[in-house]
Amino acid sequence: MEKIKSIAVNAAFIALVSIVLIWGNTLYRQHVQFSKGERAMAAGDFVGALAGWESAIHMYTPFSPTVDQSAQRLWDLGESCVRRGDTTRALLAYRSLRSSFYALSGFYQPGEEWIKKCDARIAQLVKQGQPTGAR
């Protein structure tokens, strides 16, 4: 009986360490992708910024502020494109933000508020008769 307890404790410890390592690796990669988005935006690279922030969201970990920061950056990117009259790129940013959270669905749907905001903004832009080719 003692041997079974020892095996169970070791298995639980290994499982816990594995989860912590996976979580830590995901957080690290999330920050790397966010930083790539920031650097790309600073260089004026729309596609690079979009890809970096979208990838950071895809590396979702609950309660990570980087996910919210990335979502806000994508939203702000879309808003700045709208202000410049670049509706095609704005739609790319909003759809990228929305699809990033849709890709995370599982036991629950993270980012529901972002999805709703994006749906409303996309509908508004499409209703105005703007290009819809980038989905």
Q: Name the residue ranges covered by the structural domains of the chain.
A: 2-127
Q: How much is the pLDDT for 135? A: 47
User: Which residue type, as a one-letter code, is found at position 101?
Assistant: F
For every one of its 135 residues, what pLDDT tens digit does the chain have, with 9 covering 90 and above? Answer: 888 989 999 999 999 999 999 999 999 999 999 999 999 999 999 999 999 999 999 999 988 999 999 999 999 999 999 999 999 999 999 999 999 999 998 888 999 999 999 999 999 999 986 454 544
Q: Quick one: which H or E segment has residue 89?
A: helix 87-102
For the beta carbon of residue 103, count every other beta carbon within 10 angstroms: 12
Please tell me the distance from the alpha carbon of residue 134 to that of residue 58, in angstroms, as a whole number.
20
List, in order, residues 6 or more apart from 126 with CB less than 8 Å away: 91, 132
Q: How much is the pLDDT for 132? A: 47
Cβ–Cβ < 8 Å for 75, 101: no
Please tell me the distance from the alpha carbon of residue 10 to that of residue 4, in angstroms, as a whole number.
10
Instruction: Give me the residue label for tokens 């994508």.
Output: 74
List, in order, residues 6 or more apart from 130 with CB less than 8 Å away: 87, 88, 91
